[in-house]
Structure 1
Amino acid sequence: MHTKKAAAVVAAVALATAGCGSKGEHEASGGGDTLRIGASLSLTGSLAREGGLTKEGYELCRQAVNAKGGVPVGSKKLKLEIQYQDDTSKPDTAAQLVDQFNDKGVKLILGPYGSATTEAAAAVVERNGQVMADSSGADDKIFQKGYKRTFAALSPAHSYAASMVQAINEMAKPKPKTMAFLSADDGFSKTVAESGAEEARRLGFDVVATEYFPSGTSDVSAALTKVKSLKPDVILGSVHVAEGIAIIKQAKELGVTPAGFAETVAPPTPDFAKSLGADAEGTLGSTQWTEKTTGEDKWIGSAADYATAFKAAFGGRAPEYHGAEATAACLALVFAVEHAGSTEPDKVRDAMSALDEQTFFGPLKFTDKGQNLTKKMQVIQIQDGKPVTVWPKDVAESAMIWPGTGKR
C-alpha cells in the first residue's frame, strides 16, 4: 500500500464536512463556487441495498475531492455537491427525476443503480443535452441506441458471466464439462446469461439449460428443480443479491449439488457470506474491482488507498465493487470537468469522450458508444467467509478451490 497516500486520503475524508460548498447564485451545474451534480438512486425498493452501496461510493468521491480543495475549473476550484433523489428502483421514476434535475439547471448526472433505470435515464439525458456518468448500468443494449451523452465507467454486461466461464476453463481441475445458467428475467441479467452461455460453448462446455425466473424473487426453486435432473457440473447464476442468495439456499434444500456455483453481483457483497454462512464457501463471483486492481489517480491513490479511505469513512467496513465503481463514475465527471475547463455540458461531454485516465478502479477510457472496454473484470471466490481474488492469475490472492462445493 502507498502508506503516505493512504493516510492523506483518510485524513482528507475525515476532514470533509457534510456541507457541500456555497450555494451560488445559479442552479446550473457549477453555479457560484459549486459543481452541482444530480443522482437518481434506488434508496428504497427492490434494489435499495445496491443503491445504498452506490451512494456510499458517490459520497466517498465527494469527500475526497472536496478535501483537496475541489475541482479545478479555470482559475477556480469548485466544491462538489451531489443532490440525491430516490427513484424507488423504478425506471420511469428515474427518468422523471433526471428531467426534474434538468428543470433545475442540473446538467451533470451520476447514474442510478442498475441497467433498467440507467437505460431510462439515458434517454432523458440525451434529449435534454445533459451528461451522465454511468456507475452500474452495464447492459450492452443501452449502448446500442446511438446515445452520445452517457458514459459507463464499469465493464459491460457481456463480461460478467464470461469472465467466470474463462476462469473456470483456465483454473478448475478436474475441468467441468457441463454448465446450466439460471437468470433473472430483467434485461441486464438476460444479456449476461446469453453472453456467458455463448462463451461457455465457445470454450467447449456443454450448456445443458438456461432457465429464467422473475427479477427480484426470493424463490428460484422452480428453475433449480428443472436443472436438477441434468446434474450440471456448474450452475452459473445471472442475478442480483437476493436472487443469488436464494439460489444457494434453495439448492441445498432441494439437493442440487454441482461441483461449483458461480454468480454475478451477489458474492462480492457483504450480505452474501453474512446471510449464507458456511454455505457461501467456494462460490465464485465476478467483480468490477478488488483491492488488487492496478492503477492510481491524484484524488484517491491506489486500490489499497481506496480501501483504507473507505474503511475510515464507513466504520471499518471493507469496500466492494459497487462502491468502487460509483466512485470511479464520479471521478470520470470530475476529470471531464477539469479537462474541459468548464461545466458547460457540451464541453464536458467532449472531454468525457476523449478521457484516458488511470485510476484506482483501473482505466477510464470510452468507446464512441460510451462503454469502457479497456477495463477487465476479475473473479473472486468465497474462501473462509471472505471474497478473495482468484482470476486473472496476475492479481490472484489465492488459488481457486475446486470443486467449489467441497468444503460445505
Structure 2
Amino acid sequence: MRKRWYALVAVAALAALAAGTLSPASGQNPIVVGASISQTGRLAVTATYVLQAYQLWVDDVNAKGGLLGRPVTLKVYDDKSDPGTGAKLYEKLIVDDKVDLVAGPYSTPVSAAASTVNEKYKKVMVAPMAAGDALWKRGYRYLIQTLTPSSLYYIGVVDLALERGLKTIAFMSEDSEALRVATPAVADLAQKKGLKVVHNEYFPRGTTDFSAMLTRIKALGADVLVCGCYEPESVLSVRQSKELDYSPRLLFAGHGAAVPEFYKALGKDAEFVLASDHWDSRMKTPGNAEFVERFKKKYGREPNYHAAGTYGGMQAFEAGVRKAGSLDQDKIRQALGELDLATIFGRYKVSETGGQIGKTSIIVQWQGGKKEILWPGGTATAKAMLPAPPWAERR
C-alpha cells in the first residue's frame, strides 16, 4: 500500500515540478535564496550538512534549467549558532539584500528567532531543521515545517510493542523542550492503545548515573523501557541496565542510539536496542538513492538526516514555487499548504498552521552490528528481533 502511495505521490510531485515551464536559464537574473547557517559555534559541525544540502539542491535545480526559467543562487551568512544573530541576519537578507526566497537555518532555537523576522516581512520560510511543535502554535502564517515534529518522534515504539504482546511501558526522559513534548505524546498514545504506563520520570541533561531510576523501573517489571535521550545518555542507559541485570523485552534508547558512536561504545551490548531516526539512506523514497550518490560524489561523505531533511525541504519549496508560478509569497504559501508530496526525505504535508503532519520518524534496531529499519512497515529492511533476550542469555 505504501509503495503504491509513493508511486502516486511521485507522479503528483513531477506534475507540480513541471508546472513552471523551464527555459534556458543563462542570461536571466538569478533567483536568490537567502539563509543563515551556523558555520561557527557549537552547532557548526552538524550545520555543515545543512549548508551542503542547500548547495547540492542549487546545483540540481540549475541542472534542470533553473526555477521559473531563471538560475538559482545561494546567499549565506554565519549566524554563529546564536538565535539573536540569526534574527539580525534574516533582517539583513530580506531588507538589505532583498533576496527572493528565504530558507531556514539549523536548529529549532535559531529557526524560532528567524521566523519572527520572516513573519514581520511576510516572507515564507521553509524550516527544514526545526522540530519543536510550539513554533507552529504561535499563529504564524509564513513558517513551514518539513522535519518530523517532536510529538511524532517515538510513536512507532507503541505499535512494535503491541505487535509483540507487551503490556507495560516505562519512560525516563531528558528534561528538554523537545522531549517534554515527545514523551507525553507517546505515553498518551500507549495508554489509548492499551499499554499500561507504569513509570514516567525526567532527568537533567548531563546526568551521569541512572542506577536509582533504573532500579525503580526494574522493580515495576516494565516490559518496555523508553529512554528519551541523546548521546551520551543513550549509552549510559543501556550500560547501566546491563549492570543492574534489568532486561526489558524492548529497550528503546532515543535518537542517541541511532548514531554509529552508540554501537562503537557498547559493542554487542547494543544488539536488540531500538532507536529513533528521521531518515535512512536505504529508504525507498523517490530519488533517495540518487541523492545519496550525488551527495557522496560531491562531498566525499555519506549524507545524514540533516542533509536529507534539508534537501527534501527544498524539494517541497521548489514544488511550491513552481505550483505558484511566481515569487509572490502569499501564492507560494498557499501552494505549500496544498501540496502532498513525496520527497527523498519522506512525505511532505502540512496543517493549516504550516506544521508537518505527513512525516514521521523511523524506528530502527541494531541487528548484527547494523541498523535495520523496523517501522513504518513500508520502509522496513528487517523484522524486529523482539522480545530481546535477557542479558544473562546473550553471548
Bin the TM-score by the shorter chain. 0.7 to 0.9
Paired AA for residue 59 in structure 2: Q
Structure 1 position 164, deviation (Å): 1.8
Would the alpha carbon gap of residues 130 and 212 (structure 1) be closer, same or farther in structure 2, given more than 3 Å must change? Answer: same
Paired AA for residue 308 in structure 1: E
The corresponding residue for 2:370 is: 386
Partners in 1 of 2:45 and 2:161 — Cα distance? 29
The corresponding residue for 2:258 is: 268
Partners in 1 of 2:177 and 2:268 — Cα distance? 31
Would the alpha carbon gap of residues 305 and 257 (structure 1) be closer, same or farther in structure 2, given more than 3 Å must change? Answer: same
Structure 1 position 144, deviation (Å): 1.7
Matched, 1:79 2:72: yes
The corresponding residue for 1:240 is: 230
The corresponding residue for 1:194 is: 184
Would the alpha carbon gap of residues 378 and 223 (structure 1) be closer, same or farther in structure 2, given more than 3 Å must change? Answer: same
Superposed counterparts of 1:288-327, under 5 Å? 288-296=278-286, 302-317=287-302, 319-327=303-311
The corresponding residue for 1:64 is: 60
Superposed counterparts of 1:141-152, under 5 Å? 141-152=134-145
Provide TM-score, normalisation by structure 2.
0.80
Paired AA for residue 79 in structure 1: V
Would the alpha carbon gap of residues 167 and 96 (structure 1) be closer, same or farther in structure 2, given more than 3 Å must change? Answer: farther
Partners in 2 of 1:403 and 1:43 — Cα distance? 44
How far does the alpha carbon of each residue in 1:19-76 deviate from its partner, in whole angstroms, 9 at most, with x for none? Answer: xx99x9xxxxxx932422213447532x555434433433332333234343x22xx3
Structure 1 position 331, deviation (Å): 1.8
Matched, 1:98 2:90: yes
Paired AA for residue 95 in structure 1: A
Partners in 1 of 2:272 and 2:52 — Cα distance? 28
Q: Is the 8 A contact 1:213 1:223 kept in 2?
A: no
The corresponding residue for 1:396 is: 380
> What's the C-alpha RMSD, in Å, of the aligned pairs?
3.1
Q: Is the 8 A contact 2:250 2:386 kept in 1?
A: yes
How far does the alpha carbon of each residue in 1:212-232 deviate from its partner, in whole angstroms, 9 at most, with x for none? Answer: 2234x2635365455344343
Structure 1 position 276, deviation (Å): 3.4
Matched, 1:359 2:343: yes
Structure 1 position 197, deviation (Å): 0.8
Q: Is the 8 A contact 2:153 2:360 kept in 1?
A: no
Aligned residues: 366
Partners in 2 of 1:405 and 1:95 — Cα distance? 50
1:333 to 292, 295, 317: 317
Structure 1 position 328, deviation (Å): 0.8
Provide TM-score, normalisation by structure 1.
0.78
Superposed counterparts of 1:203-214, under 5 Å? 203-214=193-204
Secondary structure of 1:37's counterpart equals: strand
The corresponding residue for 2:20 is: none
Q: Is the 8 A contact 1:118 1:134 kept in 2?
A: yes
Structure 1 position 101, deviation (Å): 3.0
Paired AA for residue 90 in structure 2: V
Secondary structure of 2:34's counterpart equals: strand
% identical equivalent positions = 30
Paired AA for residue 163 in structure 1: G
Structure 1 position 289, deviation (Å): 2.6
Q: Is the 8 A contact 1:294 1:361 kept in 2?
A: no
Q: Is the 8 A contact 1:132 1:151 kept in 2?
A: yes
Matched, 1:121 2:118: no
The corresponding residue for 1:13 is: none
The corresponding residue for 1:38 is: 35
Structure 1 position 314, deviation (Å): 3.8
Structure 1 position 121, deviation (Å): 2.8
Secondary structure of 2:200's counterpart equals: strand
Structure 1 position 390, deviation (Å): 1.3
The corresponding residue for 1:375 is: 359
Would the alpha carbon gap of residues 110 and 275 (structure 1) be closer, same or farther in structure 2, given more than 3 Å must change? Answer: farther
Structure 1 position 77, deviation (Å): 2.2
Which piece of structure 1 moves more, 195-204 or 252-261? 252-261
Would the alpha carbon gap of residues 91 and 316 (structure 1) be closer, same or farther in structure 2, given more than 3 Å must change? Answer: closer
Q: Is the 8 A contact 1:69 1:79 kept in 2?
A: no
Would the alpha carbon gap of residues 120 and 110 (structure 1) be closer, same or farther in structure 2, given more than 3 Å must change? Answer: same
Would the alpha carbon gap of residues 363 and 223 (structure 1) be closer, same or farther in structure 2, given more than 3 Å must change? Answer: same
1:177 to 167, 181, 186: 167
Would the alpha carbon gap of residues 82 and 204 (structure 1) be closer, same or farther in structure 2, given more than 3 Å must change? Answer: farther
Structure 1 position 199, deviation (Å): 1.1
Which piece of structure 1 moves more, 356-365 or 155-164? 356-365
Would the alpha carbon gap of residues 400 and 141 (structure 1) be closer, same or farther in structure 2, given more than 3 Å must change? Answer: same
Task: Specify every segment of 5 or more residues in structure 2 that has no aligned partner in the other structure, as ranges.
Answer: 1-24
Structure 1 position 194, deviation (Å): 0.7
Would the alpha carbon gap of residues 182 and 117 (structure 1) be closer, same or farther in structure 2, given more than 3 Å must change? Answer: farther
